[in-house]
Structure 1
């Protein structure tokens, strides 16, 4: 840089050399945060089935070897994305008077986060909880159950059952939506059509299905989610 003030001023006012090659922008450093962002972007736009190391590196503009400097393997991506989702869950201060509602609220948050990223709950089904954010949610759920008077072993098994159901529910919804978009709406029968088909079944072979077709097809998906969660919670302290 020129030391003379007049030369420095002239340099500031000088027009750029049109023949010079433009400076290449510096690439942002690769971090676990950026890797997780890219992995979730794939899940949100293309679905969990499209999540691969190569797909993530394509978004980041780098190569697999660069990614493996930060993660162990493809399964490590599962740990990162579930940890990121769990970091968004708000845990209440355990209250013995409202512990059922509190736990239901945590599971609803988890369900909705899974549904934002189609198929991502498969990662939760196959991931051992070691991520600190995942463990934070597990710790919070256990604290709520213990505050409600549930004994520790029952609380531990109930957490497993509730987490499994929530992940399975979200996975089923994502699979239905994927098939709907791939094949159109024709394959999805309306509730009225299901009732018509059930009631038309031979009464001698399907007496209960035909008689209770309305009940069998009642409620939305979330209605049934709420029912199942409450069914489990209400049975814990009996």
Structure 2
């Protein structure tokens, strides 16, 4: 082994036929598959994530990838599981259960929005991954601590997560459309309000009169409003445990 080859070997590289050092590819592991997939989604959006595209990003072929991931649905579960692992769940508190639910849902929202469109992977997903199940378990515990009936608590946990996923998916779509010059004007609030106010008042009297309210809201105001409606509705109908 010549000096060039020895130095390359020390640095984890090999030497090609022309004598130039070539970095030895890192071994493929499930964790590396998830890391690479998340990087791809963060850069290009969830729609760009295909098994073929992921294999190319890992500098391997689909066959090597399928040795670690069963299929796209399995990859989706791994991705959502990784995001769920970053969530902090509180010790259920009967006096603060509403705020605790809002906090968990807000954490989920913020994690999803870092990866455009990834909440699509959470839709119709069976919660068998331990980290996904941990979040469902934690939300169920908070609801039960708040006195919500068992079946209502189970359905509410699912409904809250479903709403968060849908909200994040729509937000991601809007954000991606907003960066296109030919679509930005369509999403402008003043433009939208003007178009609503221009509708025939005889056919749409309420829409025209309340165009400002229909288009109102900053940041996540609508998210907070809807979450409040859902949680307050549980407060009103907790009833007996079942």
Residues 204-215 of structure 1: pairs in structure 2 closer than 5 A: 204-215=202-213
Q: Gaps (5+ residues) in structure 2?
A: 6-16, 237-242
> 1:42: Cα distance to partner?
1.1
Look up the match of 1:16: 3
User: What is the TM-score when the length of structure 2 is the normalising length?
Assistant: 0.86
Residues 93-132 of structure 1: pairs in structure 2 closer than 5 A: 93-132=91-130
The alignment status of 1:88 with 2:82, answered yes or no, reads no
User: Which protein shows a greater Rg?
Assistant: 1
- Contact persistence 2:117–2:172 (CA under 8 A): yes
* SS of 1:102 mapped into structure 2: helix
Residues 1-238 of structure 1: pairs in structure 2 closer than 5 A: 16=3, 21=19, 25-238=23-236
* SS of 1:126 mapped into structure 2: coil
Q: Gaps (5+ residues) in structure 1?
A: 1-14
Q: Distance in 1 between matches of 2:80 and 2:187?
A: 33
Partner deviation per Cα, 1:171-221 (whole Å, 9 max, x = no partner): 001111222223445433432233333233222211111111111111125
Q: Distance in 2 between matches of 1:91 and 1:218?
A: 32
- Contact persistence 2:177–2:184 (CA under 8 A): no
Q: Distance in 1 between matches of 2:142 and 2:73?
A: 30
> 1:230: Cα distance to partner?
0.6
Provide the aligned C-alpha RMSD in A: 2.2
Q: How many residues align?
A: 225
> 1:20: Cα distance to partner?
9.3
